[in-house]
Chains A and B, each alone.
Chain A
Amino acid sequence: MSGITKSFPGVRALDGVDLDVQAGEVHCLLGQNGAGKSTLIKVLAGAHQPDGGEITWRGEPVSLRSPIAAMRLGIATIYQELDLVEGLSVAENVFLGHEPTTAGFVVRGRDARREAAVLLRRLGHAEIDPARHVGDLSAAQQQIVSMARALSHDVRLIVMDEPSAALDPEETDNLLRIVGQLTADGVAVVYISHRLEEIRRVGDRVTVLKDGRAVANGLPAKSMPTREIVALMTGRDVEYVFPRRPAAPRSGDPVLRVEGLARDGEFAAVDLEVRPGEIVGLAGLVGSGRSEILETLYGARKPTAGRVTVDGRPLKPGSVRSAVRAGMGLAPEERKAQALLMLESVTRNVSVSTLTRFSRAGWLDRREERRAARESTRSLSLRPDNPDALVRTLSGGNQQKAVLARWLLRGCRVLLLDEPTRGVDVGARAELYAVIRRLADDGLAVLLVSSEVPEVLGLADRVLVLREGRVVHAAPATELDEHRVLDLVMEGSPSR
Chain B
Amino acid sequence: MTQPASEAPQAPTPPAEAPPATKGGGRRPALGLHADVRNLSLLGVLAALVLVGGITQPDAFLDVSNLQLVLTQASVIGVVTVGMTFVITSGGIDLSVGAIVALASVWATTLATQEYGFTGILFTAVVVGVGCGLVNGVLIAYGGMVPFIATLAMLASARGLALYLTDGKTQIVTVNSVLDLGLPATYVLGIPPLVLVFAGVTVIGWLVLNRTTFGRRTVAVGGNAEAARLAGIDVRRQRLYLYLLSGLCCGIAAFMLIILSGSGQNTNGNLYELDAIAAAIIGGTLLSGGRGTIVGSVLGVLVFITIQNIFALNNLESAVQQIAKGAIIVAAVLVQRSTVRNGDG
Contacts and interface: CB of A to CB of B under 8 A. Distances in A.
Interface stretch (B77-85, B175-183, B208-216, B320-328): B208-216
Given A348-B216, A355-B213, A364-B212, A324 B232 contact: yes
B185 interface: no
Interface string A423-435: 0000000000000
At the interface, is chain A mostly helix, strand, loop or mixed? Answer: mixed
Interface of A: 8-11, 298, 300, 320-321, 323-325, 330, 332, 337-345, 348, 351-353, 355-356, 359, 362-364, 366, 388, 390, 392-393, 406
B211 A338 contact: no
18 contacts: A300-B229, A300-B230, A338-B226, A338-B230, A340-B227, A341-B219, A341-B228, A341-B290, A342-B223, A344-B220, A352-B220, A355-B213, A356-B213, A362-B213, A363-B212, A364-B211, A388-B27, A388-B29
Interface string B269-305: 0000000000000000000001100000000000000
Contacts of B59: none
A352 B216 contact: yes
Nearest to A412: B232
A337 B224 contact: yes
A9 B342 contact: yes
A348 B27 CA distance: 12
Contacts of A342: 223-224
B345 interface: yes
B212 A390 contact: no
B230 A339 contact: yes
A366 B231 contact: no
Interface residues on chain B, size class? 20 to 34
Given A321-B234, A341-B223, A348-B220, 19 more contacts: A8-B345, A10-B345, A300-B229, A320-B232, A324-B232, A338-B224, A339-B231, A341-B219, A341-B228, A341-B290, A342-B223, A345-B31, A352-B216, A353-B231, A356-B213, A362-B214, A363-B212, A388-B27, A393-B345
Interface in B186-238: 211-214, 216-217, 219-220, 223-224, 226-234
B216 A364 contact: yes
Interface string B260-274: 000000000000000
A337 B227 contact: yes
Interface in B230-255: 230-234
B227 A338 contact: yes
Contacts of A320: 229-230, 232
A123 B115 CA distance: 79
Given A321-B234, A345-B28, A359-B212, A352 B345 contact: no
Question: Chain B interface mostly helix, strand, loop or mixed?
Answer: helix
A11 B230 contact: no
Given A341-B224, A343-B223, A356-B213, A332 B230 contact: yes
A355 B227 contact: no
B18 interface: no
Nearest to A10: B345
Contacts of A364: 211-213, 216
- Give the one of A298, A325, A343, A345 with max B CB within 10 A: A343
Contacts of B212: 359, 362-364
B30 interface: yes
Contacts of B234: 321
Nearest to B226: A338
